């Protein structure tokens, strides 16, 4: 974590691929350096934005190793390690620890749709097995099940479960977690567009897709919220709204990778079943990048 315990703005890193579909190590290292130089507070490789679902375990580990090497301890590295098979999640967590990750991001089990007590058992098994802090990730739109507020608060009692990335889109639920969270437990927005609202309500930061393309501005938004300067934070939020919307005109990370390609930072290659951005969305994405100052 940050020295003061505040997580801030973390980038859910895309994974650059070459035109042939291999990991583009050069582009990944350059992306990491740029993110850190622009002021991002932590990096999150191999989440859903990083297309971890289409990586082999060896590729997953290599991406995290590259990010850890390139970061050089300048910011924390939170490695995605989620699986809907608890034993696989534990094994992958051990791989991420060996690769040098500082923390882990674990998505709630997708497809299986466990009951709330199953979600608790899943996270407790991982946290008991691997000695790294864990951020729980609630994203019902991808997993098919919601981590209820009372379940998140139960997880927060485990000493290794230190935060939640909340992407339910349910502000009432998120505020229940903020209201009931024990001291030191971090509540992070999992939706760029809700960063201002979540942090104004007492949340602690954002794991962001948009910061792939606009790291300085998203980090500044989080910093201004944390400082209580909501007027300045609102200015940043409103300026970034077109990009927040454009980043999701198709399934993430298709627009983000296309945006970074427009910026000359990598190829826009995604792995099947993802496909290239539909051409009709390019003007919207380009205009949004320009309005955010990310593209001339």
Mean pLDDT of the 80-88 span: 97
CA distances from residue 52 to 62, 82, 220, 246 in whole angstroms, order as listed: 12, 9, 28, 22
CB atoms within 10 A of CB 9: 29
What residue segments make up the domains of the chain, in order of their start? Answer: 8-227
Residue-level pLDDT at 244: 98
Pick the closest to residue 36 from 6, 77, 64 (CA basis).
77
Strands 161-166, 103-107: pairing is unpaired
Asked if the model's pLDDT at residue 3 lies above 60, the reply is no
| Residue 134 pLDDT greater than 50, yes or no | yes
Residue 1 has pLDDT above 80, yes or no: no
Identify the burial level of 290 via C-beta atoms within 10 angstroms of its C-beta, where 0-12 means exposed, 13-18 middle and 19 or more buried: middle
CA dihedral 248, 249, 251, 255 (to 10 degrees): -80
Query: At how many degrees (to 10) do helices 215-226 and 230-246 cross?
Result: 150
The predicted-structure confidence for 229-268, as pLDDT tens digits, reads as follows 999 999 999 999 999 999 999 999 999 999 999 999 999 9
For the sheet with 205-208, list strands across it: 42-44, 8-12, 205-208, 186-189, 161-166, 134-138, 103-107, 78-80
Q: What's the pLDDT at 135?
A: 98
Q: What is the three-state SS of 16-83? A: CECCCCCECHHHHHHHHHHHHHCCCCEEECCCCCCCHHHCCHHHHHHHHHHHHHHHCCCCCEEEECCC
pLDDT tens profile 164-221:
999 999 999 999 999 999 999 999 999 999 999 999 999 999 999 999 999 999 999 9
What are the residue numbers of the active site?
Answer: 137, 165
What are the φ and ψ backbone dihedral angles of 206, each rounded to 5 degrees? -150, 140
CATH topology of domain 8-227: TIM Barrel (3.20.20)
* Residue 55 pLDDT grade (very low, low, confident, very high; cuts 50, 70, 90): very high
User: How far is Cα 67 from Cα 45, in angstroms, rounded to an integer?
Assistant: 7
Q: What is the mean pLDDT of the chain?
A: 96
Nearest Cα to Cα of residue 157 among 191, 176, 181: 181
Q: How confident is the model at residue 296 (pLDDT cuts 50, 70, 90)?
A: confident
Query: Which range has the worst mean pLDDT, 4-18, 49-63, 101-115, 128-142?
Result: 4-18
Q: What is the pLDDT of residue 6?
A: 67
Q: Is the pLDDT of residue 5 over 80?
A: no
């Amino acid at each position: 974590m940050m020295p003061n315990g505040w997580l801030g703005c973390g980038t859910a890193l895309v994974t650059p691929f070459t035109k042939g579909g291999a990991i583009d190590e050069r582009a990944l290292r350059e992306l990491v350096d740029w993110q850190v130089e622009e002021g991002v507070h932590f990096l999150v490789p191999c989440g859903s934005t990083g297309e971890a679902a289409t990586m082999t375990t060896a590729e997953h580990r290599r991406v995290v190793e590259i990010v850890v090497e390139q970061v050089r301890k300048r910011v924390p590295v939170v490695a995605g390690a989620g699986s809907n098979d608890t034993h696989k999640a534990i094994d992958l967590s051990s791989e991420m620890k060996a690769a040098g990750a500082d923390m882990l991001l674990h998505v709630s089990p997708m497809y299986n749709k466990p009951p709330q007590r199953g979600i608790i058992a899943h996270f407790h098994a991982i946290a008991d097995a691997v000695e790294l802090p864990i951020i729980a990730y609630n994203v019902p739109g991808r997993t098919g099940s919601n981590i209820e507020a009372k379940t998140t608060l139960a997880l927060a009692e485990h000493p290794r479960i230190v935060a939640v990335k909340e992407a339910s889109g349910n502000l009432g639920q998120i505020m229940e977690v903020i209201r009931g969270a024990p001291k030191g437990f971090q509540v992070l927005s999992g939706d760029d567009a809700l960063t201002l609202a979540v942090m104004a309500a007492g949340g602690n930061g954002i794991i962001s897709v948009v910061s792939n393309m606009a790291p300085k501005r998203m980090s500044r938004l989080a910093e201004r919220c944390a400082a209580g300067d909501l007027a300045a934070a609102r200015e940043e939020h409103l300026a970034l709204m077109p990009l927040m919307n454009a980043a999701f005109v198709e399934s993430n990370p298709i627009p983000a990778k296309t945006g970074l390609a427009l910026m000359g930072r990598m190829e826009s290659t995604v792995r099947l079943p993802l496909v290239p951005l539909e051409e009709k969305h390019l003007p919207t994405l380009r205009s949004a990048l320009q309005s955010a100052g990310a593209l001339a």
